[in-house]
Structure 1
Amino acid sequence: MNNISVLVKSLICGLGLNLGMSVTAYALPLEKIQLPDGFSIELYADNVKNARQMALGDNGTLFVGSRRAGNVYALIDSNKDNQADQQIILAKDLFLPSGLTFHDGDLYVAEVDKIWRYNDIENSLPTIPKPELVYDKLPNKAHHGWKNIKFGPDGKLYIPIGAPCNVCDDPLPYSSILALDIETKQTTTIAQGVRNSVGFDFHPKTGELWFTDNGRDMMGDDLPDDELNRVSQEGQHFGFPYVHNADIKDPEFYDAEKAKLNTPPELNLGAHVAALGMEFYLGKQFPAEYQGSIFIAQHGSWNRSSKVGYRVMQVVLDGNKIKDYLPFATGWLQGEQSWGRPVAVLTMPDGALLVSDDAADAIYRISYQPD
């Protein structure tokens, strides 16, 4: 966001809050977003500080996590005009509560080291129910400690545990994805050798877990790629920290025997693009060529000599076979200046796609209307 936009936003912010206005709409250059023909983008919600993972309640409440802000939000579109008009802050000052999910009427929120549950939350609002501690045995290191969470087809809660470093060989549960039985509190290691996954989903037909993984830094501008991976067997190893992508040896930790454990990625996504939230598109609004595709939010590079990412990509599938990898929404990066950073995607009941942006404090709605 340029300095003028920031100034405009700050000047009108107080008025906007008092008048119920959308203040970010004055500052965010949505006209710069490039989409395929027939698609359009609009603001669903603004002033959602540091918006990260999203989850939709049964009654249409949009729940949103944050990272640095430490907040958890409930957004309500009371007049059903595809724009949130009420924001409730459910929690403040949490430990990087980036991830949350909605399951059987309850909201689950992930701090770095704890999982909380807000029981029957939509029927309680605007009263905020007292959260119940579900699990408190997660590591408490902040580095790559924020996480997305989601329930799987098996009814277990899936929780990534990132590496507490750029590259290191710390023991499990670091660098893994766990499945938590919320009743017994038992965990299962679903995947290991995973540096930092901040987005995953389950294949709508096979039920297999697919996830994004951020590659390590400090190996230059073009190595290694971020990855899109598929878990075909419980406990699979995906190479970190010994080997990256299919066969790139780590300069510090390469071990020939341990590298044999590596499961190559289904797709290399590009180095430093910071692939985060992903979802299989199961909506009916978009044309046929988008059905069953994976949408991936790329947060964008932070230490590459020329910036990459800052976009939403489409992965076209035929079963488990990847047919194409295409830009879907671009324009948050203008030259070397970025005004937004996509984090997560979420398909709405009408088939529109929401995209959260933790830099612009916004949530966008992408919809399709044929000519």
Structure 2
Amino acid sequence: MDILARATALVGGAMVLLRRTGAPGTQAVGEAPQIPAAKKQGIMTLKMPTAQGWAPGQVPRAAAGLRVAPFATGLNHPRWIEVLPGGDVLVAEALQQATPPKNLLDRVTQATMRRAKALGTSPNRITLLRDRDGDGAAEVREVFLEGQNQPFGMVLADGTFYVGNTDGIVAFDFDATAVRPVGPGRRLVEFKPGGHWTRSLLLSPDRRRLYAGVGSLSNIGDEGMAAEEGRAAIWELDLETGKARIFASGLRNPVGMAWEPGTGTLWTVVNERDGLGDETPPDYLTSVREGGFYGWPYCYWNRIVDDRVRQDPDLVAQAITPDYALGGHTASLGLCWMPAGTLPGFPDGMVIGQHGSWNRSILSGYRVIFVPFEAGRPAGPPRDILWGFLSTDERTAFGRPVGVAIGPDRRSLLVADDVGDVIWRVTAA
């Protein structure tokens, strides 16, 4: 074992052992979560399973009445899914890329992330998958678009294909006959790359506006708030005028977005800050108000102040409490609305892909969950759809779920798995 590997094991293992005895017994979940008092971590708890992938024939576990099978395998870090009107499935393949380490802790962190397959060379492409014979598996796989910069969100609207690259939104003319983007892309909005690099996209119901999730550069404004300008926010782009603005802010890392169709409300899942404990604070699912401020970095759930941050009392007083807690550090990334009847036994609600934690002594996430909705709001505890991505001893990850989308047949759920390099398809058993 080399020196860096020894340091990784020593630092990560020691921090986990020291903190595991104080780990909370239950997760902070729901509309009124019990959030433990903050316990500052001088050195961040760093615990990530080794990425292994799935053995032949091995699949995640599915809820009763459901079946899961591969829709496509052998991809290269698939992160996000977009289903085109004709039924073709687009998959963004991208990966976080390393920056020069500043110290030993950076080196340890990067070594751990590489072992967990969370850091490396990004494929920077979008792949098209097509199930011609309707058997639930894609027979056709083609490169749809390549040479992008960590592509993530994708939207096709009125003859234009939009890509959320880490450094901005790019638009391409679209050939509907060939099912291909045409010509060079046009940069519509620029975003600062680095840090939380994903740029999810969502089209408004009236098809006039495009929303983009842009995460923070750092954990809690570590490099000053000037470096965070334009970040930790959801942006809105007017497709007719080309004008862009921040729609809502104080959202540390808003990734998946979805519309609740009954009220027409925008919802998002947000990854909260690190370094305060296993369940403190919880990641969350929340409705998004125009002009709303959600607390980052000054405070979290119900205006609990983070005293590691130089405070702004006026902004704390404006902070909106999120709607629904999802547990600490679950890395809830994927989000889609699932109408009742899509999967047997599931009412209307939101599906969430939980990529899984690293800043915990006992790991969380590593599953796909469902939050039921009634009258436009969460209504009840979350339910598991898929799990078994993590070994019982927490040492090995067979997969990690990210993006989720309703399948072309409207009777299935697609799940991107960036460690297993699989798109899973969930249907009735």
Identify the residue that residue 261 of structure 1 maps to in structure 2.
318
* Structure-2 separation of matches of 1:247 and 1:177: 20
Identify the residue that residue 351 of structure 1 maps to in structure 2.
411
**CA pair 95-120 structure 1, distance change in 2 beyond 3 A:** closer
* Structure-1 separation of matches of 2:87 and 2:135: 12
**CA pair 272-121 structure 1, distance change in 2 beyond 3 A:** farther
- Partner of 2:177, secondary structure, is helix
Which of 397, 400, 421 is 1:361 aligned to?
421
Which of 281, 287, 292 is 1:236 aligned to?
292
Contact kept? 2:202, 2:212, Cα under 8 Å? yes
Contact kept? 2:406, 2:414, Cα under 8 Å? yes
- Partner of 2:61, secondary structure, is coil
Deviations 1:161-181 (A, max 9, x none): 211111113454211101101
**CA pair 5-303 structure 1, distance change in 2 beyond 3 A:** closer
Which of 325, 333, 336 is 1:279 aligned to?
336
Question: In the alignment, does 2:173 pair up with 1:146?
Answer: no
**CA pair 198-121 structure 1, distance change in 2 beyond 3 A:** farther
- Partner of 1:260, secondary structure, is helix
Identify the residue that residue 301 of structure 2 maps to in structure 1.
245
Deviations 1:108-166 (A, max 9, x none): 211112322333344224x662243141x322322113211110124201011211111
Identify the residue that residue 55 of structure 1 maps to in structure 2.
82
Long gaps (5+) in structure 1: 7-23
**CA pair 5-210 structure 1, distance change in 2 beyond 3 A:** closer
* Structure-2 separation of matches of 1:157 and 1:4: 35
* Structure-2 separation of matches of 1:130 and 1:362: 30
Deviations 1:248-296 (A, max 9, x none): 3213224333211111111110111000011110263323x52321110
**CA pair 128-218 structure 1, distance change in 2 beyond 3 A:** same
TM-score (norm 1): 0.86
Identify the residue that residue 161 of structure 1 maps to in structure 2.
214
Identify the residue that residue 262 of structure 2 maps to in structure 1.
205
* Structure-2 separation of matches of 1:3 and 1:358: 13
* Structure-2 separation of matches of 1:109 and 1:353: 22
* Structure-1 separation of matches of 2:183 and 2:141: 18
* Structure-2 separation of matches of 1:150 and 1:352: 20
Identify the residue that residue 101 of structure 2 maps to in structure 1.
none
**CA pair 368-95 structure 1, distance change in 2 beyond 3 A:** same
**CA pair 71-101 structure 1, distance change in 2 beyond 3 A:** same
Aligned residues: 344
Higher RCO structure, 1 or 2 (CA under 8 Å, sep 6+): 2
Post-superposition shift, 1:217? 1.1
Question: Percentage identity across aligned positions?
Answer: 28
**CA pair 164-284 structure 1, distance change in 2 beyond 3 A:** same
Post-superposition shift, 1:331? 0.7
Post-superposition shift, 1:367? 0.3
Contact kept? 1:213, 1:228, Cα under 8 Å? yes
Post-superposition shift, 1:46? 0.8
Which of 130, 141, 146 is 1:87 aligned to?
141
Contact kept? 1:152, 1:158, Cα under 8 Å? yes
Q: 1:267 is aligned with what amino acid?
A: Y
- Partner of 1:29, secondary structure, is coil
- Partner of 1:259, secondary structure, is helix
Contact kept? 2:50, 2:397, Cα under 8 Å? no
**CA pair 4-265 structure 1, distance change in 2 beyond 3 A:** closer
**CA pair 72-283 structure 1, distance change in 2 beyond 3 A:** farther
- Partner of 1:123, secondary structure, is coil
Contact kept? 2:356, 2:367, Cα under 8 Å? yes
* Structure-1 separation of matches of 2:256 and 2:315: 25
Worse-matched range after superposition: 90-99 or 186-195: 90-99
Identify the residue that residue 56 of structure 2 maps to in structure 1.
27
- Partner of 2:295, secondary structure, is coil
Deviations 1:77-136 (A, max 9, x none): 1222111112112233421112212223543211112322333344224x662243141x
Which of 339, 354, 360 is 1:304 aligned to?
360
**CA pair 285-268 structure 1, distance change in 2 beyond 3 A:** closer
Long gaps (5+) in structure 2: 1-48, 96-122
Contact kept? 2:52, 2:398, Cα under 8 Å? no
